[in-house]
């Protein structure tokens, strides 16, 4: 855990505001304004999200004056990281299966998942969205938020729980079913990060969890 210097705590609070609020705000505005799902508009949204991530990275290095290891982005050991990606991926698959069981048991409703809109996008744009989700969501909700909240509060439970709840709630457009899936799969990623403090594990797992069903599998499925 990296202790935050009192003179730089204000920048940490700004970073937390971005980490926990930037994605729901940008995506929420995109939906509220009913911006058409064109390639150009989706690219503009993704650029805005990458800009938010760049600002958080700027805060880490130039305002907090901390290293990348302060958010789990140190150079990873390839063998150990690969093993834990496999373990985390199995955990995410199990959590997803459990979530679907709960959804079916309690008849939780699905909301709008925008699947048709995503399907209409060029594959390279969809790939960009998946890369953004894997990197930025893990940087915001796992690496930065967990580390900084633990440093500020001294509580590992609060540091892990608050970002997880925000992460799950940010999937509100997918209905209670989507929130449940995000909560349980996110809990696995949160647990792995808290244990290993290696963000590359959760970034890679998150990416694979989106890439395999949305891009890889459709390549082998005959329509």
Separation of alpha carbons 171 and 176, rounded Å: 9
Instruction: Give pLDDT tens digits along the chain (223 positions).
Output: 566 677 789 999 999 999 999 999 999 999 899 999 899 999 999 999 999 999 999 999 999 999 999 999 999 999 999 999 999 999 999 999 999 999 999 999 987 656 667 778 899 999 999 999 999 999 999 999 999 999 999 999 999 999 999 999 999 888 999 999 999 999 999 999 999 999 999 999 999 999 999 999 988 885 5
Of the CA atoms within 13 Å of residue 21, those in its CB half-sphere come to 6
User: Whole-prediction pTM value?
Assistant: 0.94
The answer to whether 201 touches 81, Cβ cutoff 8 Å, is: yes
Burial class (CB in 10 A: 0-12, 13-18, 19+), 105: exposed
Contacts of 45 (CB under 8 A, 6+ apart): 26, 27, 30, 35
Per-residue model confidence (pLDDT) at position 140: 98
Q: Map tokens 């508009």 to a residue.
A: 41
* CA dihedral over 150, 157, 185, 17, signed as positive or negative: negative
C-alpha distances in angstroms, 27 versus 32, 47, 59, 170, 185? 9, 12, 22, 9, 21
Q: Map tokens 């890679």 to a residue.
A: 204
């Amino acid at each position: 855990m990296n202790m935050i210097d009192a003179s730089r705590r204000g920048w940490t609070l700004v970073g937390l505001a971005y980490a926990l609020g930037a994605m729901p705000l940008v995506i929420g505005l995109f939906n509220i304004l009913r911006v058409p799902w064109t390639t150009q508009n989706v690219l503009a949204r993704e650029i805005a999200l990458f800009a938010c991530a760049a600002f958080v990275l700027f805060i880490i290095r130039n305002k907090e004056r901390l290293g990348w290891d302060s958010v789990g982005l140190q150079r990873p050991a390839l063998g150990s990281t690969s093993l834990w990606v496999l373990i985390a991926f199995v955990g995410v698959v199990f959590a997803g299966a459990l979530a679907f069981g709960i959804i079916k048991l309690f008849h939780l409703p699905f909301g709008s998942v925008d699947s048709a809109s995503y399907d209409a996008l060029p594959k390279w744009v969809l790939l960009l969205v998946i890369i953004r989700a894997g990197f930025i969501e893990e940087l915001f909700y796992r690496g930065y938020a967990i580390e900084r909240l633990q440093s500020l509060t001294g509580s590992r439970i609060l540091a892990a729980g608050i970002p997880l709840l925000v992460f799950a709630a940010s999937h509100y457009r997918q209905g209670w079913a989507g929130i449940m899936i995000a909560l349980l799969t996110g809990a696995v990623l949160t647990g792995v990060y808290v244990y290993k403090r290696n963000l590359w594990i959760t970034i890679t797992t998150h990416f694979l969890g989106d890439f395999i069903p949305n891009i890889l599998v459709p390549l082998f499925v005959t329509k």
